[in-house]
């Protein structure tokens, strides 16, 4: 396990709890909640990956850590899309999300670009 293991495990647990709450109807997310799912959830998972890859010393994440990080990010993105009434089974890679984050410097843009939610107006 890398030094990021406990942080990744905590992110995954939180993401699963939130996704279950949304899926079970215990939480009715609205568009006003969307930024929190990105900044406090998916963005934290993406940034953890960025730190591991660029934090001065490359940290090798185990396969299990990498999969957990990706699952966490995707669960948060699923909660995000539900804020707009869209049921999505997210299967994005954390690497692509990290590249988008570094390019756009905005996790809100990352969520919208990856999921297509909400639709951009012309």
What is the per-residue pLDDT across 33-84, written as a single tens digit (0 to 9) for each?
Answer: 999 999 999 999 999 999 998 876 778 899 999 999 999 999 999 999 999 9
The per-residue b/e assignment along 27-45, b for 16 or more CB within 10 angstroms, e otherwise, is eebeeebbebbbeebbbbb
pLDDT value for 5? 95
The DSSP-derived string for 67-112 is HHHHHHHHHHHHHHHHTTT--------HHHHHHHHHHHS-HHHHHH
Longest pairwise C-alpha distance within the chain: 46
**CA nearest 41: which of 78, 88, 6?**
78
* Cα–Cα distance measured from residue 20 to residue 10, given in angstroms and rounded to the nearest whole number: 15
Whole-number percent of the chain with pLDDT over 90: 88
Higher pLDDT pick, 56 / 24: 24
Q: What is the mean pLDDT of the chain?
A: 94
pLDDT value for 56? 67
With tokens 């647990």, the residue in question is 13
pLDDT value for 57? 74
* Cα–Cα distance measured from residue 63 to residue 81, given in angstroms and rounded to the nearest whole number: 27
Average pLDDT, integer, range 15-43: 97
Instruction: Give me the torsion for CA of 62, 64, 65, 67, rounded to 10°.
Output: 120
């Amino acid at each position: 396990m890398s030094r990021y293991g406990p942080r990744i495990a905590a992110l995954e647990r939180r993401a699963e709890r939130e996704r279950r709450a949304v899926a079970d109807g215990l939480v009715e997310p609205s568009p006003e909640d969307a930024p929190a799912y990105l900044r406090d959830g998916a963005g934290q998972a993406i940034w953890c990956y960025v730190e591991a890859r660029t934090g001065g010393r490359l940290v090798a994440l185990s396969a299990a850590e990498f999969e957990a990080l990706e699952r966490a990010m995707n669960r948060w993105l699923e909660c995000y899309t539900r804020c707009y009434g869209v049921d999505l089974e997210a299967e994005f890679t954390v690497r692509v999300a990290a590249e988008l984050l570094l390019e756009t410097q905005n996790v809100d843009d990352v969520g919208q670009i990856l999921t297509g939610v909400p639709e951009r107006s012309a």
